[in-house]
């Protein structure tokens, strides 16, 4: 049986360690854009891009209890839930899923959390994508969860989230950015509807990721502008 809960003593301690100590020590700046688009009530599925293991700390910082008054409940790979780390994660609201063979228990627990009006985080790529030029391939699980919840009368809003870092491998004193897009809905069930929604979500994720990248790595000036500025500076 799949289950998870928020420990009333461990969760505040984790926020203190991660948001007040770890993140400020590692990152020089963290930009958050579009947080007003994240619903404060009702079932929400946050669908972030997956660029580094730091994503799991940045999301609660950007959209967790201090920012929205809500906890982030994570669906994570079964490997992440082993040993002592798994003990902590389960008490911080996380629960496992076998990506190769998702169990009904994992899907059911995800829907139960949404029925309870929780804010659920599912990485639709299912794995870390280190390089921006690598194709973004989404797994069908998120659309399946949203459609299953919808079939049970739960109006789930899916929020695309773009995450970017100043370097593909986040470095000390680097920059990070989290950008939230407009909520999306999947209103019909079936494989075709899920496939179409997944395509639309991929486009929204690429857009939000690009916005995040511009915050940590501004676009280079056009060649013509650079040449003109160089000419103006020459004697």
Which has the closest alpha carbon to 91: 109, 73, 103? 73
Write out the two tokens for 205.
């994720």
Fold of 10-233: Glycerol-3-phosphate (1)-acyltransferase (3.40.1130)
Find out whether 144 and 190 touch, Cβ atoms under 8 Å: no
Distance CA 92, CA 60 (A): 11
The pTM is what?
A: 0.90
Query: Which residue matches tokens 């699980």?
Result: 141
- Helix 191-216 × helix 141-151 angle, to 10°: 120
pLDDT (0 to 100) of residue 229: 52
Average pLDDT over residues 189-211: 93
Write out the two tokens for 233.
């500076």
pLDDT (0 to 100) of residue 219: 65
DSSP assignment letter at 21: I
Identify the burial level of 23 via C-beta atoms within 10 angstroms of its C-beta, where 0-12 means exposed, 13-18 middle and 19 or more buried.
Answer: middle
Over residues 59-105, the pLDDT tens digits come to 999 999 999 999 999 999 988 988 999 999 999 999 999 876 777 88
Find out whether 106 and 120 touch, Cβ atoms under 8 Å: no
Over residues 170-198, the pLDDT tens digits come to 999 999 999 999 999 997 778 888 899 99
Pairing of β 72-77 and β 44-48: unpaired
Domain boundary assignment for the chain: 10-233
């Amino acid at each position: 049986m799949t289950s998870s809960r928020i420990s009333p003593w461990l969760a505040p301690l984790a926020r203190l360690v991660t948001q007040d100590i770890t993140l400020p020590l590692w990152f020089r700046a963290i930009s958050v854009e579009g947080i007003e688009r994240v619903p404060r009530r009702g079932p929400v599925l946050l669908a972030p891009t997956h660029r580094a293991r730091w994503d799991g700390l940045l999301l609660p910082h950007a959209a967790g209890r201090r920012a929205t008054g809500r906890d982030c409940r994570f669906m994570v790979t079964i490997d992440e839930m082993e040993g002592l780390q798994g003990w902590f994660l389960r008490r911080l609201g996380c629960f496992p899923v076998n990506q190769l063979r998702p169990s009904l228990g994992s899907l059911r627990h995800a829907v139960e959390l949404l029925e309870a009006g929780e804010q659920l985080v599912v990485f639709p790529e299912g794995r870390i994508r280190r390089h921006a030029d690598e194709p973004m391939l989404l797994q069908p699980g998120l659309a399946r969860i949203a459609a299953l919840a919808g079939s049970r009368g739960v109006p789930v809003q899916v929020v695309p989230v773009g995450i970017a870092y100043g370097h593909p491998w986040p470095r000390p004193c680097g920059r990070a950015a989290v950008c939230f897009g407009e909520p999306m809905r999947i209103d019909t069930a079936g494989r075709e509807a899920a496939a179409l929604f997944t395509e639309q979500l991929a486009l929204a994720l690429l857009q939000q990721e690009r916005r995040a990248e511009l915050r940590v790595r501004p676009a280079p000036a056009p060649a013509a502008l650079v040449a003109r500025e160089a000419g103006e500076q020459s004697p």
